[in-house]
């Protein structure tokens, strides 16, 4: 556990690189910390409209904004709560089992399964709303379990209210939870009553607390998805944005046979789990997967194996974990698979893997026990050393992809110091401007409008995302408008495709540099 905790925080400000969604979120938080509003000028947004109006959840901003206000922005500080919450969640599961199980080996086996799950190292080191929500769900489930085993009436109610608060907050963390949580809450409500874990009064208090806490989000979802609002509105003290884009692309197609689409979706997701990659470089590297493929045998044992070795308490905890797994079946059917989209599966599956290791542990001798412990630890260290951090200067998809704040700062320095007043033409400005914004002086929503020179419709509308210009940045498609003293930056691999204009002898080579971990060439026009 100590080694895993060290790895969670090691080089947190450098690895992984800046993925677009995380960079957008950083800019939202910086705006909130400096000006008290999001990038569109909303003071208390219930949801970030974000750069392109596609939306990002607010939960992590509530956690990190006070820290940024106190200590200033850095990538390490921005990611620190995410890593800490991941570690706390794993510890909470392990300690809950340790203090309620007769055999302490169960907590050791669950610890082994949790700290050798590649996904927890990957997702715990960068910020995405899909990554934060399952943490709060899991903490809510653990708190509910602690309420169940608590003998004090007051203690039970307090823990149930804590569980309700954590589960409710998860809804503010990821839009897919809006599909997931109703099934989870209804399932736990009926199971808690049928199994007589809780009284009717206790379950009523728990359910009503959740309903009250998520009510503002229900109103927001109704206005966006049913009323299709096209301007900012308010509910209580919350500011409700509208969304120019939606997340329909994350769901299966409704054209043609729905059953066929569901079948294909489920099959694709299972393949991603079994084959060890979802083909997204920020999420996975083959063949390690979200859970090591060879550990999935233990997952199956944890799911279906006999639990006669377990006492009543940890049997009940396993039922809670199974409920949380089964509640995502509707999500598995309709949400397109990748390791982020199906994020509500990984904590339950990792816990069940730990149960499976324990049940297997009880059935083998010393050699088997030693193998069960050492093999996943050895493979995890190989993954961390070779595939994630890339020690000995080895390039990986995590240490050498996506954005780089340091490299962007160098380009920004070149333009603001040595080329002040001139323009820089880059490819895909709309995708890269957010990294430049990150290294520049923070700006409020009004300055944001002036930076891209595109007027917003009115004060109740989203600031349009930059397409052709942002400050000194210009899109490469408009390079024909470049004037004397302007510069352009081309990726080495794009020279043949995008460098045709360099045949104009007024352009001359200035230097080589790096941007987003890729080699670029800088040219200036005479």
Distance CA 448, CA 442 (A): 10
Cut 0.95: pTM above it: no
Among 14-23, 180-189, 344-353, which is the least confidently predicted range?
Answer: 14-23
Q: Among 127-131, 216-220, 458-462, which range has the highest average pLDDT?
A: 216-220
What is the average pLDDT across 485-506?
89
pLDDT band at 247 (very low <50, low <70, confident <90, very high): low
Please give the pLDDT value at position 224. 85
pLDDT band at 363 (very low <50, low <70, confident <90, very high): confident
Average pLDDT, the chain: 91
What is the average pLDDT across 373-399?
89
Please give the pLDDT value at position 453. 62
Write the DSSP symbol of residue 402.
Answer: S
For residue 429 the two structure tokens come to 């400005």
Q: 395 versus 337: which is more confidently predicted? A: 337
Tokens 């794009």, residue?
494
Percent of the chain with pLDDT over 90: 69
pLDDT band at 457 (very low <50, low <70, confident <90, very high): low
Please give the pLDDT value at position 54. 80
Percent of the chain with pLDDT over 70: 97
- Asked whether residue 456 carries a pLDDT value surpassing 80, the answer given is no
Burial of 304 (0-12, 13-18, 19+ CB in 10 A): exposed
Candidates 12, 3, 61, 9; CA nearest to 37 is 61
23-27: long-range contacts (C-beta < 8 A, 24 or more apart)?
23/403, 23/434, 23/435, 23/438, 24/50, 24/51, 24/56, 24/434, 25/50, 25/56, 25/60, 25/61, 25/127, 25/128, 25/129, 26/73, 26/75, 26/78, 26/127, 26/438, 27/51, 27/434, 27/437, 27/438
Please give the pLDDT value at position 112. 96
Among 136-145, 212-221, 361-370, which is the least confidently predicted range?
Answer: 361-370
pLDDT band at 458 (very low <50, low <70, confident <90, very high): low
Q: Among 93-97, 367-371, 388-392, which range has the highest average pLDDT?
A: 93-97
Burial of 154 (0-12, 13-18, 19+ CB in 10 A): exposed
393-407 per-position pLDDT tens digit: 788 888 887 889 999
What is the average pLDDT across 35-39?
93
Tokens 């206000």, residue?
69
Q: Angle at the Cα of 138 (from 137 to 142), degrees rounded to 5?
A: 120
- Asked whether residue 271 carries a pLDDT value surpassing 80, the answer given is yes
Please give the pLDDT value at position 253. 77
What is the average pLDDT across 355-366?
90
What is the average pLDDT across 87-98?
97
453-460: long-range contacts (C-beta < 8 A, 24 or more apart)?
458/231, 459/41, 460/231, 460/232
175-233 per-position pLDDT tens digit: 889 999 999 999 999 999 999 999 999 999 999 999 999 999 999 988 988 888 878 88
- Outline where DSSP puts E strands in 47-87: 47-48, 56-57
Distance CA 276, CA 144 (A): 32
What is the average pLDDT across 357-363?
91
50 SS3 class: coil
Q: 60 versus 446: which is more confidently predicted? A: 60
Parse the chain into domains and list their residue ranges. Answer: 1-388, 405-525
What is the average pLDDT across 19-47?
93
């Amino acid at each position: 556990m100590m080694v895993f905790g060290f790895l969670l925080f090691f080089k947190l400000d450098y690895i992984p690189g800046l993925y677009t969604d995380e960079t957008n979120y950083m800019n939202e938080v910086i705006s909130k910390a400096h000006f008290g509003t999001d990038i569109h000028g909303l003071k208390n947004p219930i949801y970030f409209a974000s750069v392109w109006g596609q939306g990002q959840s607010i939960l992590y901003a509530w956690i990190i904004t006070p820290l940024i206000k106190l200590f200033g922005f850095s990538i390490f500080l921005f990611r620190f709560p995410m890593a800490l919450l991941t570690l706390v969640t794993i510890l909470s599961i392990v300690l809950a089992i340790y203090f309620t199980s007769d055999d302490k080996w169960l907590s050791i086996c669950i610890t082994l399964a949790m700290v050798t799950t590649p996904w927890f190292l990957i997702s715990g080191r960068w910020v995405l709303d899909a990554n934060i929500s399952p943490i709060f769900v899991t903490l809510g489930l653990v708190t509910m379990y602690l309420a169940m085993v608590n003998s004090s009436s007051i203690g039970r109610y307090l823990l149930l209210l804590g569980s309700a608060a954590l589960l409710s907050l998860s809804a503010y963390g990821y839009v897919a939870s809006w599909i997931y949580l109703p099934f989870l809450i209804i399932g736990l409500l009926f199971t808690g009553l049928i199994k007589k874990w809780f009284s009717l009064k206790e379950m009523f208090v728990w359910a009503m607390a959740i309903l009250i806490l998520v009510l503002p989000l229900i109103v927001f979802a109704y206005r966006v998805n049913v009323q299709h609002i096209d301007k900012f509105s308010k509910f209580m003290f919350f500011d409700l944005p509208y969304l120019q884009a939606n997340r329909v692309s994350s769901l299966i197609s409704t054209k043609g046979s729905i059953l066929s689409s569901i079948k294909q979706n489920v099959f694709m997701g299972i393949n991603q789990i079994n084959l060890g990659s979802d083909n997204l470089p920020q999420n996975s590297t083959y063949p390690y997967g979200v859970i090591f493929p060879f550990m999935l045998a233990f997952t199956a044992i944890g799911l279906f194996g006999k639990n006669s070795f377990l006492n009543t308490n940890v049997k009940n905890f396993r039922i809670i974990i199974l409920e949380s797994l089964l509640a995502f079946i509707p999500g598995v059917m309709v949400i397109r698979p990748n390791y982020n989209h199906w994020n509500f599966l990984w904590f339950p599956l990792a816990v069940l893997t730990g149960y499976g290791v324990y049940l297997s542990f009880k059935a083998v001798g010393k050699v088997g026990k030693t193998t069960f412990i050492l093999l996943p630890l050895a493979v995890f260290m190989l993954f961390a050393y070779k595939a994630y951090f890339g020690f000995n200067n080895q390039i990986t998809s995590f240490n050498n992809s996506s954005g780089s704040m340091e490299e962007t700062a160098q380009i920004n320095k070149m333009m603001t110091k040595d080329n002040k007043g001139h323009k820089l033409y880059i490819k895909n400005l709309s995708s890269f401007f957010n990294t430049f914004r990150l290294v520049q002086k923070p700006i409020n929503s009004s300055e944001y409008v002036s930076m891209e020179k595109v007027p917003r419709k009115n004060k109740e509308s989203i600031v349009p995302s930059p397409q052709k210009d942002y400050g000194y940045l210009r899109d490469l498609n408009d390079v024909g408008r470049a004037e004397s003293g302007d510069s352009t930056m081309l990726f080495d691999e794009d020279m043949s495709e995008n460098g045709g204009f360099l045949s104009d002898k007024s352009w001359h080579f200035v230097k080589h540099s790096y941007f987003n971990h890729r080699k670029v060439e800088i040219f200036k026009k005479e």
